[in-house]
Amino acid sequence: MSYQKIAIAGATGNLGPTIVKSLVDAGFEVTVLSQSGNTSSLPSAVKTIKVDYSSQESLVSALKGQDAFVSTIPKHDQQPALIDAAIVAGVKRFIPSEFGSNIAGNANTAALPVFAGKKTTQDYLKQKSNDISYTLISNGLFLDWGIQVGLLVNLKGEPTRVFDGGNDKHSFTLLSDVAQAVVGTLKHPEETHNRAVYVQSAALSQNEAIEIAQKAKPDAKIQRQDASVKELLETSHKQLAQGGEQIGAAFFGFIITSIFADSKEYGNLWDEKNDNSLLGIKEKSAAELQKIFAEL
């Protein structure tokens, strides 16, 4: 039996609104936990509860009666406190703010410093698995966001960094399909019990993405800039050691490493074995991908 009453934290970020809309459209009763109380941009069917994230009492009160709790908060190391509150409130399933690289299934990815908070959360969920169940959602880079900001291919005139020749394929997922993965998980609690699920809208190499983008936007001048994941990783570690203002650049470099590094080393390709069918996600055809690129 699927869950029905769903609470979500971080509903106004990049991913949160898409998840909320998909949950509402799928017929779930959605309650948004908000520190500011400003959720006017969300669907009118959503219930909003103002909470103090530093107070377990406030969190427990907001979570009572909820079947599942979805977190999309950016401060991943704060999630154990959310898990504790969910356990006290009697919540059955916790979906953490994972939504990205393969931390659950790859030691190299899990060791990247940028993912320390996510790794801590995963370990804590395993410790508490007798008290609350969990599902970790791995989706690779957000495909539409990655195009918009020029990570996968830059359509705004700046050079596209093409890593290690650009032939290695990686898994990418649209924001809407990530949201569908949440819906599918909540509809299939037994099949997604205490494990990571893997979804993708497409498996693409950067060279394939550039080719599709060029067809979608023939007038776009796509510049290639050869880049090395190994050099990026070395630079990121040096920046982290320098500290201060360099930490942000280092963390971004670690994220890019997890996305574009060799798939055999960093586990960022799951086209042969994934949970698309279970969770209701259909991979995009070449024509559909071309349309997506054209619209962004």
Those residues with Cβ within 8 angstroms of residue 167's Cβ, 6 or more apart along the chain or in another chain: 205, 207
pLDDT at residue 282, as a whole number: 97
Q: pLDDT tens digit string along 263-279? A: 999 999 999 999 999 99
CATH number of 142-171+202-268+282-295: 3.90.25
Q: Does domain 5-139+175-198 have CATH number 3.40.50.720?
A: yes
Nearest to residue 22, comparing CAs of 285, 292, 279? 279
Question: Do 8 and 32 form a contact (C-beta atoms < 8 A)?
Answer: yes
pTM of the predicted model over 0.85: yes
% of the chain with per-residue pLDDT over 90: 91
Average pLDDT over the chain, rounded to an integer: 95
Which part of the chain is CATH 3.90.25?
Answer: 142-171+202-268+282-295
Q: pLDDT tens digit string along 56-96? A: 999 999 999 999 999 999 999 999 999 999 999 999 999 99
Tokens of 275: 């949970």
Give the whole-angstrom CA distance, residue 190 versus residue 126: 16
Give the whole-angstrom CA distance, residue 168 versus residue 183: 30
Q: pLDDT tens digit string along 200-259? A: 999 999 999 999 999 999 998 899 999 999 999 999 999 999 999 999 999 999 999 999
